[in-house]
Amino acid sequence: MSHTPHEIYQRSTAPVTIDESRCIADKGCTVCVDVCPLDLLAIDLTKGKAYMKFDECWYCMPCEQDCPTGAVKVEIPYLLR
């Protein structure tokens, strides 16, 4: 993988996006990171916000469902809907 996490986060096709204005990782929240079975999400410690570190999503949804502020949005591909 040659992509840096920052590049992956900025791609418009990233399956999981984080609304940084809602994310409270800077207050200590790590819920989405903790619930992802593939460890795809991480906290950007310089920003204090969560981001998608690895683009291999299973669309299992707990990251979106369990985020206390509704900051996580999982874009499910049409083929899987």
User: Contact residues for ligand SF4 (CB under 6 A)?
Assistant: 16, 18, 23-25, 29-32, 35-36, 38, 40-41, 50, 57-63, 67-69, 71-72, 74
Q: CB nearer to ligand SF4: give 7 or 70.
A: 70
- Least Å distance between CB 6 and ligand SF4? 17
7 vs 56 by CB, closer to ligand SF4: 56
Residue tagged 């903790």 (tokens): 34
Contact 32, 52 (CB under 8 A): no
Q: Under DSSP, is residue 62 helix (H, G, I), strand (E, B) or coil?
A: helix
Residues 81 and 62: their CA atoms lie apart, in Å, by 16
Nearest alpha-carbon partner for 14 in 46, 51, 60: 51
Nearest approach, Cβ of 74 to ligand SF4 (angstroms)?
A: 5
CB of 79 to ligand SF4, least distance (A): 16
